Amino acid sequence: MNVPAWPLHWPPGWKRSPFRRSAPFRVGRDRLRIRDALRRLLPELERLGADDVTISTNVKPHLYDQMGDSADPGAAVYFTLDGAPTVLACDRWDRTSDNLAAIAAHVEALRGQERWGVGSLAQAVAGYKALAAAPPARAWWEVLGVRPDATGEQIRAARRELLAKAHPDRPDGDHDQAAAINEAFQAACAQGRA
C-alpha cells in the first residue's frame, strides 16, 4: 500500500470521533510517549502476522520520543494480512500515543478471539479491510481556495476563514473538512509557502 506515514492518512469512509478524551494508557504512572505505544503495537502486529506495516499519524517520525500531542491525534495502521490490505484506525483519545496504544490493545483482543476458539482471525478482521486507494488528493491551493501562487498571508487568511466555518466545535462544523483544511495548510507550509 502506498500510504504516507506523515501526515495522517485517515482511511476513506471511516467516521471520525466527534469528541476525544484522556486515555487510561500509562507506563507506570507516566503517560505514554509514541515510542512506548509503538513498543506495544509492533509486537502485536507481528504476532498477528501483519506485513508491510505503515503507521500514519500527524506526528513526524523523528518526533516519536514526544508525548504525541497534535491538533489531530488520530492514528491509522495500514498492513497486509494474508495478502489482503487491512487498516485499523483510532482517534477516540486526545493524544496520538494513546490512539496507537488503543490499536495495540485491539489487535491483542482480536488475537484473543482466535485463541478462545470463538471465531477465526479472518472473521475478526473482515470488517477492517482497507478500502481501495482514495482518488488523488486535491492540491493544497484547491482545498484552501487560493491560487497556486498565493502569498503566505493569503494562504493563512484562507485557512482562518475556512476553519471559522468548518471547525468541529461549531454546531454545523465538519471534523473531516477541518482536517482537510489543516492538511492543505501543512502541505503549503511544507513547500515553504505559508
pLDDT tens for 121-147 read: 777 777 666 554 445 567 888 889 998
* Cα–Cα distance, 73 to 68 (Å, whole number): 7
Nearest Cα neighbor of 12 from 136, 131, 143, 168 is 131
pLDDT tens for 152-172 read: 999 999 999 998 888 877 888
Q: Is the pLDDT of residue 183 over 60?
A: yes
Give Dmax over CA atoms of the chain in angstroms.
Answer: 60
Nearest Cα neighbor of 54 from 122, 7, 12, 17 is 7
Is pLDDT larger for residue 117 or for residue 41? 41
Average pLDDT, stretch 79-97? 92
Q: What percent of the chain has pLDDT over 90?
A: 38
**pLDDT at position 91, please?**
95
What is the set of domains in the chain, with CATH numbers?
Answer: 26-128 (no CATH), 140-190 (1.10.287.110)
pLDDT tens for 37-86 read: 999 999 999 998 999 999 999 988 877 776 556 788 999 999 998 888 99
